[in-house]
Amino acid sequence: MSELIAGRIGEIVEATTAAFTARCHELYVAPALGTLVRAGDNNPVLGIVAEVRTQSLDPSRRPIAMGVDEETEEAVYEHNPQLNRLLSTEFQAIVVGYESESGLKRHLSPFPPRIHSFVYECGRDRLREFSSSYEFLPSLLNSPIGPQDELIAAFLRYSSLTQEDAQAYLVGAGKALAPLLIGQIQRLNNILIRLIS
């Protein structure tokens, strides 16, 4: 994998308007849970990584244990180079917005990204711009993929690092979440705990 195309982390293999799945170009080189990613070149769609999984390329063949005689985990991969071809890492992202000629939108794109679109990790500036408004919170709360509460906490933790006052940003996010979680005080409590831990 060349270093030329900086930030490119994968390629879309499945896409709907609400979510897409991308296969990573390298085994285990996936964006972290809660990362803001961009897919496509025209009107790129923005997504937040909601689940990362590594599995056998052939769903009918489960990997078998291979490290019985090996000293370290690295040695397993060293002595079995075919593993990099038999296993693959994928991630799923939920769509939270898109970029259009008129600017950044924080709602679903009218069309899903195309298959084989490249997926890039968004830079700090884009992340700050996107997260400067809490409008994305409802889509994360209702994410069809992955543990939503963990996802929200992970994304807010990342995005807070791009803001001038991280603590104030998190308090603001908490306050924006509170009305969305009326009647679910314990869930709110759990998310809040994850925000600061």
Taking residue 157's Cβ as centre, other Cβ atoms within 10 Å add up to 16
Q: Residue 133, CB half-sphere, CA atoms under 13 Å: how many?
A: 10
Q: Which is nearer to another protein, 116 or 175 (CB)?
A: 175
Give 17 or 133: the residue with its C-beta nearer to another protein: 133
Does 60 help bind another protein (rule: CB under 8 A)? Answer: no
For position 193 contacting another protein by CB under 8 A, the verdict is yes
Task: Determine the size of the site formed for another protein (CB under 8 A).
Answer: 19
Of 100 and 189, nearer to another protein (C-beta) is 189
Closest CA to 195 of 140, 143, 129: 140
Residues 121-180 that bind another protein (CB under 8 A): 167, 170-171, 174-175, 177-179
Under the criterion CB under 8 A, does residue 32 sit at the interface with another protein? no
Task: Please tell me whether residue 182 binds another protein under the rule CB under 8 A.
Answer: yes
Contact with another protein (CB under 8 A) among 9, 49, 50, 195? 195
Measured from the CB atom, is 43 or 190 closer to another protein? 190
DSSP class of residue 134 equals G
Residue 46 or 188 having the CB closest to another protein: 188
Strand ranges (DSSP E) for the chain?
8-15, 19-24, 36-39, 45-56, 87-100, 103-105, 118-121
Shortest Å distance, C-beta 190 to another protein: 10
67 DSSP assignment: -
d(CA 185, CA 182): 7
The dihedral built from the CA positions of residue 170, 139, 20 and 124, taken in this order, carries a sign that is: negative
Is residue 5 close enough to count as binding another protein by CB under 8 A? Answer: no
Using rule CB under 8 A, residue 192 touches another protein: yes
Looking at 16, 17, 142, 189, which residue binds another protein (CB under 8 A)? 189
Alpha-carbon 148 to chain mean position? 12
Taking the C-alpha atoms of residue 73 and residue 66, their distance in angstroms, rounded to an integer, is 10
Binding site residues, another protein, CB under 8 A: 167, 170-171, 174-175, 177-179, 182-186, 188-189, 192-193, 195-196
